[in-house]
Structure 1
Amino acid sequence: MSLAYAVTDSRIMITRCLRRSRRDPEAFFTALMLPIMLMLLFVYVFGGELKDSGSYVDYVVPGLIVLCAGFGAGTTAVALAADLAGGIVDRFRSMPIRASSILLGQVAASLTRNLLATALVIGVGLGIGWRPTTSVWRWVGAVAMIVLFILALSWLAAAVGLLAGGPEAANSFTFVLMFLPYVSTAFVPTRTMPAALRGFAENQPFTPIIETMRALWMGHTSTGASLGHEAWIAGVWGVGILALSWAGAAWLFRRRFAA
Structure 2
Amino acid sequence: MRTYALTDSWTMTRRELAHWARQPGRLVVGLVFPVMLLLMFGYLVGGGRGVSGDYLDYLMPGMLALTMAFGLEGTMLAVTQDLDKGVVDRFRSLPMADGAVLVGRSAADMLQSAVGLAVLIVMGLALGWRPQGGPGAFLGAVGLLLLFRFAMLWIGIQLALVAGKPEMVQAVQILVWPVGFFSNALAAPESMPGWLGTAVAWNPMSRTATAVRELFGGPGADPGHLWAAVAWPVALLAVFFPLAVRKFARMSH
The TM-score normalised by the length of structure 1 is 0.91
Aligned residue number for residue 38 of structure 1:
37
After superposition, the C-alpha distances for 1:98-121 in whole angstroms (9 at most, x for unaligned) are 222111111101101111111111
Whole-Å separation in 2 of the counterparts to 1:15 and 1:9: 10
Letter in 2 for 1:151: F
Aligned: 1:235 with 2:230: yes
Distance 1:210 1:173 in 2: 24
Q: Output aligned runs, 1:27-106, within 5 Å.
A: 27-47=26-46, 50=49, 52-106=51-105
Distance 1:23 1:50 in 2: 43
Structure 1, gaps ≥5 residues long: none
Contact kept? 2:138, 2:216, Cα under 8 Å: yes
- Give 2:37's aligned amino acid: L
Q: Which residue of 1 aligns with 2:149?
A: 150
SS in structure 2 at match of 1:47: coil
Alpha-carbon distance between aligned partners in 2 of 1:143 and 1:49, rounded to the nearest angstrom: 23
Deviation, 1:21, is: 3.4
Q: Which letter maps to 2:146?
A: V
Residues 173-227 of structure 1 show CA distances to partners (whole Å, capped at 9, x for unaligned) of 33322332211110000122223322321111111111000110025535xxx32
How far apart are 1:172 and its partner, in Å? 2.9
Change (3 A) 1:34 1:78: same
- 1:213 is aligned with what amino acid? V
Q: Is residue 242 of structure 2 the alignment partner of residue 247 of structure 1? A: yes
- Aligned partner letter, 1:17: E
Letter in 2 for 1:255: R
Per-residue CA shift, 1:122-171, capped at 9, x if unaligned? 11001001111112221121122112111111111111111113112122
Amino acid at match of 2:109: S
Q: Displacement of 1:3 after TM fit?
A: 4.0
Asked whether the 8 Å contact 2:58–2:219 carries over to 1, the reply is: no
> Cα RMSD (Å) of the superposition?
1.8
What does residue range 1-259 of structure 1 map to in structure 2 within 5 Å? 2-47=1-46, 50=49, 52-218=51-217, 220-221=219-220, 226-227=222-223, 229-258=224-253
Helix, strand or coil: the match of 2:187? coil
Conservation of the 8 A alpha-carbon contact between 1:214 and 1:221: yes
Question: Which residue identity lines up with residue 59 of structure 2 in the other structure?
Answer: V
Q: Percent of counterpart pairs with the same letter?
A: 33
Larger relative contact order (Cα-Cα within 8 Å, sequence gap ≥ 6): 2
Q: Is the 8 A contact 2:47 2:186 kept in 1?
A: no
Q: Is the 8 Å Cα contact of residues 134 and 216 (structure 1) preserved in structure 2? A: yes
* Alpha carbons 1:75, 1:174 under 8 Å: kept: no
CA contact (8 A) 2:51 2:220 kept: no
Shift of 1:40: 0.7
Question: Is the 2:210–2:225 Cα contact (8 Å) retained in structure 1?
Answer: yes
Deviation readout 1:15-69 (Å, 9 max, x if unpaired): 1112223423333222111110010111111337658233221111122122222
> What is the letter of the counterpart of residue 237 of structure 1?
W
Cα 1:5/1:49, change in 2 over 3 Å = closer
Unaligned runs of 5+ in 2: none
Measure, in 2, the Cα distance between the counterparts of 1:182 and 1:206: 10
